[in-house]
């Protein structure tokens, strides 16, 4: 059974028309796969490789390089705290510990109900508004512990 439905396959193939080589559509193809499944399953990597004329290892190299691709299933709310220098200097570790304590999980874990996954990631490109986190696709900047509580409470 294919992980990519017909609409996803069509979207990926349409994307290849924008590039001089099919392989250049790898990042958008992986975004399609992750959007539809919430993560990048190995079988999906094989299907993307086949569609783009790549070796599965070439797709795996890209998936493992970028932190934006989830290599395992994540919770409904994926909290990614930036740990790079600007965020670290402005309290990212404190923010991560606070979220960990509030949710009862460690970095890299998902709550038993599948609602939250907590991750630390490298630079998310918002250094001037550190510390910050990305909740699914939304940035939350200039964080304080009370602000994090508000963000998490709004999700409940």
Q: Is-contact 96 120, C-beta < 8 A?
A: yes
The 10s digit of each residue's pLDDT in 118-156 is: 999 988 999 999 999 999 989 999 999 999 999 999 997
9: pLDDT strictly greater than 90 = yes
Does the reported pTM lie above 0.85? no
20 pLDDT band (50/70/90 cuts)? very high
- pLDDT value at residue 1: 74
pLDDT digits (tens, 9 = 90+) for 28-85: 999 999 999 989 999 999 999 999 999 999 999 999 998 889 999 999 999 999 999 9
Residue 4's H or E segment, with its range, is none
Judge contact between 43 and 63, C-beta under 8 A: no
What is the reported pLDDT for 69?
92
């Amino acid at each position: 059974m294919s992980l990519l439905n017909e609409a996803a396959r069509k979207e990926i193939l349409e994307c290849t028309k924008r590039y001089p080589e099919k392989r250049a559509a790898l990042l958008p193809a992986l975004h399609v796969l992750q959007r539809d499944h919430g993560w990048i399953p190995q079988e999906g990597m094989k299907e993307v490789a086949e569609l783009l004329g790549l070796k599965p290892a070439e797709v795996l190299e890209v998936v493992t390089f970028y932190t934006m691709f989830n290599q395992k299933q994540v919770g409904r709310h994926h909290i990614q705290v930036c740990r790079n220098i600007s965020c670290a200097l402005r309290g990212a570790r404190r923010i991560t510990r606070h979220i960990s304590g509030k949710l009862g999980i460690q970095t890299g874990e998902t709550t038993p109900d599948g609602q939250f996954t907590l991750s630390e990631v490298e630079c998310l490109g918002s250094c001037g508004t550190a510390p910050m986190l990305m909740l699914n696709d939304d940035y939350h900047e200039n964080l304080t512990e009370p602000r994090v509580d508000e963000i998490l409470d709004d999700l409940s």
